Chains A and B, each alone.
Chain A
Amino acid sequence: MAGKRTYSCGIQKEEKMISYLKDYRIISLIFIIVALLILDLKIGLHLGIEFIGGTTIPVSLDYPANPLQLSQTISALQQRLSTFGLKEVTLEGVGNQEIYITIPNATSSEINQTIQVIESQGVFEGIVNGKEALNGSSILQSGVGVLPVTKANGTYTWGVQFVVTQGAAERFSKVVFGEANKPIYMFLDRPSKAILLLNQSLLSKQYNLSNEINAMNNAATFGNSTIPILIYTNPNSALQFLKAHNSTYKRVIAYGINQSLEESIKKLNYTLIISSPSNMTPQFSEISLPNGSVELFVSSWPAIGLLSAPVLNPSITNGSVSEEYEISGVAPLNMSPEEQFAYANQQAKEIASILSGGSLPIPVIVQRPYYTPPTLGKHFEYVSGIAGVLSIAGVMALISTRYRKLKLIFPIFLTTASELFIIISIIGLVGTIDIPAVAGIIAVVGTGVDAQIIITDELIRKEGSLKMRYGNAFYIIWVDALLLIIAMLPLLFSTSLVSIIGFAEATILGALIGVLLTRPAYAAIVSKMFEEK
């Protein structure tokens, strides 16, 4: 008889284990934990700079921005930084006049490079007949405006207005005097002390070669900064010139040169810049002069920074001084109407961008970067770890003693540990674990324990059906979670307290995971544990 009972107890234990695993709440919990574990191992967790050390570069805007301008400035900065391959740089707007840029584990060269990238503005030069007519500082940022595209007689005209300072207006009128119908070459980041090595095969066959060469030399002329254009069919012919001038010039811009030529150029102490065929090929345009002849000029040549070459209207080359100008053009007629419209819009935007020097919507000033050493951080990891372990132990002891059931240690530990794991994983994968996030995690686990106590309390009672007790417990838990989430919403949507938004995110996330996942699982385990009682 005794043997038989032991035997049936054995089966009961096994059946019980299986019944645990069949509960959908427990299954979902296990599933999520495993999924997160895999993601953690593959992607790894992001830790805030307080933990791994890093640098914060505060950036102030010249004047307060509205939310649209702020986000435009942030994305412009982000784009600039990403083209330099500066990894893992986070930007956040603070208030309406500051942006914080954080670089974890930054080396001093990375910091300097970041600051340089932020501070650099595209250098704009407008050159007429080899002389500078306009530059970036002539143009008033707030005065650059794109005019709406107008349609007249089947042509689409685009226009960009801009305003220059008084001094610049006088200089401009002097330089352009008498240059009616000539182009003003608009450069952005024109390379200095550079030689362009152009393979003749890249030139279009559309025009007479000597006219093309003439046009190209015109475009590249600018006093002492003239860029020599070396057109070669045989690379070695270029080498002679390069050899002769390697003390005056520093850079060579080229495409599609063979290995040996490359080495020879580098041996002559030039910096070699490899461009692309589309950038290296000059685009030509024709202008009909009043006397009936047609002149060829380069309208765009990205390899030397020439992005546009609008033609000077006779009304502004007669010596009059004006501070407001308009650049306009017509979309090419060989496109469909929709294409023309799109082209016109695009041209206007590009010209406006060039005139603004490719700069940010609002100028920024870089403030002193400050550095959080990782030694402070490593300490925190260690401290957090110990505190976590001890707390869970303390809580387990408390609850098991209070309810006088040692068995409770397991579900409490499992639930608390899984909540902790899930929250840390999600925040670490999707966001950053910084100090406010840690505070939020602590809050979540704390309220999680509260919930476990509420559940245990109800389920351990004798009165009422299991369903009713479960319902009672979860009513309170839902109310708790709802109140907490609502209380955190103002912080979550705050645009100025960004440094502690991590707290709100962690708390809200934790509350949701709690009510939907971990607390039901706990209830499932506890109710099964005490089913027979």
Chain B
Amino acid sequence: MNIYSSKYTKYYPAIPIALLIVSILMLPHISYSTELQGGVDISLITNSKVDIPLLSSELATKLNIPPPSITGSGNGLDITLPNNESLVKANSYLQSIYQYYSNYTSLLVNQSTLQSVLAKNPNNSTAKAALINTSILINKTEAEIISSFKSEIESLKPFIGNVTFNATDVGQVPQIAQSQYSNASKVFEDKLLSAIKSYVNVSSYSFEQITPTLGKYFLSQVKSVLLASFILIVIIALIIFRTPVPAFTVVFGSINDIMIALLAMILLKIPLSLESLGGLLMLIGFSMDTGALTAVRIVKRREGSIEERANSALKTGITMTSSAIVTFTILFFISIFTYAPTYYDIAGVVLFGLLGDIATTWLGSAPILVEYKRRRK
């Protein structure tokens, strides 16, 4: 039985394309891990029995926040909370303070260089004008530093209370601003931990706080890296296959697999994180294996008919994908029974990506290549 001998072969690609369209439509629903969007991640080991929904709502009431997302199995819990708004604001003021301060020191250096130039040639009018300009900028920057500092302290009020600072030497501001921020973060962490500890016996924990700026940066880097990878793949595939259609099916195969995996992530509520990113990258490897196999066998070989070659490629390819599916199904179920969210994320992503790959390669790429080869004859 050769599915490629049927007259409906050219309609097969409708299925993977339909999946692609669904994923594109659902894409806005994707969630991000704390590393990528900022937030607070508390992982802990406990030996008490925990009712997760109950814990979530108790923490929500006690801390006056929306119910945090909690996952766990075995004796571990993973609690994710959004960053505290005031801390986020304070952090952005802190970053501005640093920015202004580095301008400030450069301006001071300029000022003194100009002053010494004027000391040697008092009639140098350009230097005079520049000096006046610089002095104005210095005053302006000082004012900006002080006002950012005031705003930062204001934002930190919920944590450090009402603190006032006397007219401080502007040079000291960055250090004081930083230490107040660190104090406030510590207060925040202690508050969260003690709330958690009143419900759960915690034997050890890790606390990670990512500010949105860092997360946004990671995310943009992730996107650029993926884009760069695909561009490179297209170039190499064009060099190897010389004609655009096979190169296109190889690349399209990978992209489609990733989109289907993203769809699965949305449905399974797996967030986009560094681990799931690892899974997506793995998918690139697997999908190119099947993609290259299909393209080479159908386009470059000559034995037997086109359909026969396609069918034999299908048999080989499905064996390849099945063995990977076996591996990742095992990993997926093991990760559910033991506390290994990393493996759960990776396995979930790859498993569904592979299932999608079967559709993409054998209902999408292969029929396209078969038709292409037929037309070339």
Instruction: Give the B-binding residues of A (Cβ under 8 A).
Output: 62-63, 95, 98, 137, 140-143, 163-165, 322-324, 365, 367-368, 370-373, 375-376, 379-380, 382-384, 386-387, 390-391, 394-395, 398-399, 402, 435-436, 439-440, 442-443, 445-447, 449-451, 453-454, 457, 463-464, 472, 475-476, 479-480, 482-484, 486-491, 494, 496-497, 499-500, 503-504, 507
Contacts and interface: CB of A to CB of B under 8 A. Distances in A.
Contact of B102 (A63, A322, A445, A499): A63
A324 B116 contact: yes
Given A142-B105, A375-B204, A500-B274, A494 B116 contact: no
Contacts of B236: 482-483, 486
Given A165-B171, A368-B185, A503-B281, A394 B229 contact: no
Residue from B99, B101, B217 having most chain A Cβ neighbours under 10 A: B217
A421 to B, nearest CB: 17
B323 A476 contact: no
Contact of A486 (B185, B209, B214, B232): B232
Given A391-B331, A439-B275, 13 more contacts: A368-B186, A376-B206, A376-B339, A382-B338, A386-B334, A387-B334, A440-B278, A445-B327, A449-B327, A450-B289, A476-B296, A497-B221, A503-B278
Interface in B65-84: 74, 76
A141 B105 contact: yes
A435 B342 contact: yes
Nearest to B251: A483
Nearest to A365: B178
Contacts of B224: 490
A439 B346 contact: yes
B171 A137 contact: yes
Interface stretch (B16-24, B107-115, B148-156, B158-166): B107-115
Residue from A137, A163, A398 having most chain B Cβ neighbours under 10 A: A163
Interface string B323-356: 1101100110011001110110010000000000
A446 B278 contact: no
B25 interface: no
Given A62-B102, A324-B113, A395-B327, A486 B334 contact: no
Contact of B116 (A322, A395, A496): A322
Contact of A324 (B105, B115, B218, B228): B115
Contacts of B284: 484, 487
Contacts of B316: 453-454, 457
B10 to A, nearest CB: 26
Nearest to B109: A143
B43 interface: yes
15 contacts: A63-B101, A163-B109, A323-B111, A323-B112, A368-B209, A376-B76, A387-B343, A398-B323, A435-B342, A439-B278, A446-B324, A453-B320, A454-B320, A464-B303, A483-B237
B279 A398 contact: no
B301 interface: yes
A322 B119 contact: yes
Contacts of B292: 476, 479-480, 483
Interface residues of B, number: 85
A95 B233 CA distance: 25
B233 A63 contact: no
B11 interface: no
A524 to B, nearest CB: 20
A324 B289 CA distance: 66
A503 B275 CA distance: 10
Contacts of B218: 496-497
Contacts of A435: 275, 342
Contact of A375 (B45, B207, B334, B335): B45
B250 interface: yes
A227 to B, nearest CB: 30
B84 to A, nearest CB: 14
A483 B250 contact: yes
A382 B339 CA distance: 11
Contacts of A463: 303
Nearest to B288: A483
Nearest to B337: A383
Nearest to B102: A63
B3 interface: no
Contacts of A491: 225, 229, 281
A324 B203 CA distance: 58
A383 B343 contact: yes
A373 B45 contact: yes
Nearest to A443: B282
B257 to A, nearest CB: 13
B182 interface: yes
Contacts of B99: 63
Interface string B86-113: 0000000000001101100110110111
A497 B330 contact: no
B296 A479 contact: yes
Interface string B279-305: 101101110111011001100010100
A135 B43 CA distance: 45
B208 interface: yes
A323 B275 CA distance: 53
A496 B112 CA distance: 37
A366 B76 CA distance: 29
A457 B288 CA distance: 18
B222 interface: yes
A164 B293 CA distance: 69
Nearest to A402: B319
Interface string B167-201: 00001001000100010011001000000000000
Nearest to A484: B285
Contacts of B222: 497
A450 B320 contact: yes
Contacts of A496: 217-218, 221
Contacts of A504: 281
Contacts of A387: 330-331, 334, 343
B305 to A, nearest CB: 14
Given A376-B43, A399-B319, A446 B285 contact: yes
